[in-house]
């Protein structure tokens, strides 16, 4: 299944994946309507109605996304979503050594083949302390600026500095963008290696009996077309989690990353799309906005 993102829109504009609309209408036995100006969608629902969703779900991409986890240390220049404090980050900094995750989206092993000029990988995160979801700013005060981008269940689109304005990690130098079009193809990549000192509360110990016993970060990575014919299309993903315990902290261990699931492409309202839309709304970013000509 391949699904358009329902991202934040300016008041008088809309964006739509024309290729998906044409496939949806063809599957439904109707003729695709040409979009003649900015804001005119080939599907009046913008891709979210039962007709478009049903047609999209008939095209389930197979394969495409792979994941590997290793305990190798990360080189100083290999930064990911670093925070200002190297002990408190959702991903790695130059001084971090610990579990690393590498995610790759290969368009050549995806069916149907994407027609996309810029494939990227995104990531949502939900942090929990002793089993309960917690807002980023509640967990660690310097992350309060992330709270506006979080959903009610504390999930948010993973990002480092709150000054970032786009939802694409590759724009911050994390991983690489891929493509799949008439000129050829290349995979999209992403990497991560979380670590934590337990945030403001710290980990439980004899001197800190009120600290966390277990901190777990839940993640979901999805491939997304950020430019080209299929712009706005979501592809499959992978789920994983990072866990660190008080015992890990006491022993100087970084914690453990574990792959948990292969994820089908999301539907409107799914966690990654909701977090993506929330981030874009707060940051004022509109993906895939373009004029359509007859």
Q: 213-228: per-residue pLDDT in tens?
A: 999 999 999 999 999 9
pLDDT at residue 89 tops 90: no
Residue 140 lies in a domain: yes
Q: Which of 20, 240, 16 is nearest to 121 (CA)?
A: 240
Q: How many CB atoms lie within 10 A of CB 58?
A: 10
Residue 13 lies in a domain: no
Tokens of 67: 């994941």
119, β-bridge pairs: 178, 225
- C-alpha–C-alpha distance, residues 228 and 191, integer Å: 24
On whether the pTM is more than 0.85, the answer is no
Q: What are phi and psi of 87, to 5 degrees?
A: -85, -10
pLDDT at residue 170 tops 60: yes
The range of the structural domain enclosing residue 91 comes to 61-283
> Rounded mean pLDDT of the chain?
73
H-state helical runs in 100-148: 136-139
Residue 145 lies in a domain: yes
Residue 65 pLDDT grade (very low, low, confident, very high; cuts 50, 70, 90): low
- C-alpha–C-alpha distance, residues 113 and 121, integer Å: 17
Residue 183 lies in a domain: yes
pLDDT at residue 188 tops 70: yes
- The tally of domains found in the chain comes to 1
Residue 101 pLDDT grade (very low, low, confident, very high; cuts 50, 70, 90): confident
Residue 43 lies in a domain: no
Residue 218 lies in a domain: yes
Lowest mean pLDDT among 40-54, 128-142, 173-187, 239-253: 40-54
Give the neighbor-by-neighbor strand order of the sheet with 188-192: 65-70, 100-105, 188-192
Residues for the chain: how many in total? Answer: 294
Residue 14 lies in a domain: no
Residue 130 lies in a domain: yes
- C-alpha–C-alpha distance, residues 51 and 54, integer Å: 5
Residue 17 pLDDT grade (very low, low, confident, very high; cuts 50, 70, 90): very low
DSSP reduced 3-state for 246: helix
pLDDT of residue 66: 53
Instruction: Identify the residue whose tokens are 């309202």.
Output: 269
pLDDT at residue 212 tops 60: yes
Q: Would you say 140 and 88 are in contact if contact means Cβ atoms under 8 Å apart?
A: yes
Angle at 133 between CA 171 and CA 138, to 5 degrees: 75
Residue 155 pLDDT grade (very low, low, confident, very high; cuts 50, 70, 90): very high
User: What region does 201 belong to: left with phi over 0, alpha with psi -120 to 50, or beta?
Assistant: alpha
Of 57 and 153, the one with more pLDDT:
153
- C-alpha–C-alpha distance, residues 47 and 41, integer Å: 9
């Amino acid at each position: 299944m391949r699904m358009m993102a329902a991202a934040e829109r300016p008041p008088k504009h809309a964006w739509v994946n024309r290729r998906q609309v044409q496939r949806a209408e063809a599957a439904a036995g109707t003729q695709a309507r040409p979009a003649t100006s900015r804001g005119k969608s080939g599907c009046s629902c913008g891709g979210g109605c039962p007709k478009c969703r049903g047609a999209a779900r008939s095209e389930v991409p197979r394969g495409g996304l792979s994941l590997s986890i290793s305990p190798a240390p990360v080189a100083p220049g290999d930064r990911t979503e670093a925070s200002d404090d190297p002990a408190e980050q959702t991903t790695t900094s130059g001084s971090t050594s610990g579990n690393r995750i590498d995610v790759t989206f290969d368009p050549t092993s995806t069916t149907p083949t994407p027609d996309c000029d810029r494939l990227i990988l995104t990531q949502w995160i939900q942090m929990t302390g002793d089993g309960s979801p917690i807002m980023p700013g509640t967990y660690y005060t310097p992350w309060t600026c992330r709270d506006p981008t979080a959903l009610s269940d504390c999930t948010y689109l993973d990002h480092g500095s709150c000054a970032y304005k786009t939802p694409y990690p590759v724009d911050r130098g994390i991983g690489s963008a891929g493509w799949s079009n008439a000129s050829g193809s290349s995979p999209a990549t992403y990497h991560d290696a979380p670590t934590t000192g337990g945030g403001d509360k710290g980990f439980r110990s004899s001197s800190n009996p009120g600290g966390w016993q277990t901190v777990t970060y839940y993640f979901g990575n999805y491939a997304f077309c950020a430019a080209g014919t299929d712009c706005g299309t979501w592809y499959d993903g992978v789920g994983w989690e990072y866990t660190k315990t008080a015992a890990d902290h006491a022993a100087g261990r970084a914690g453990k990353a574990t792959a948990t699931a292969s994820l089908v492409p999301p539907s409107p309202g799914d966690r990654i799309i909701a977090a993506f839309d929330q981030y874009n709304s707060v940051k004022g970013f509109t993906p895939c906005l373009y004029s359509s000509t007859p």
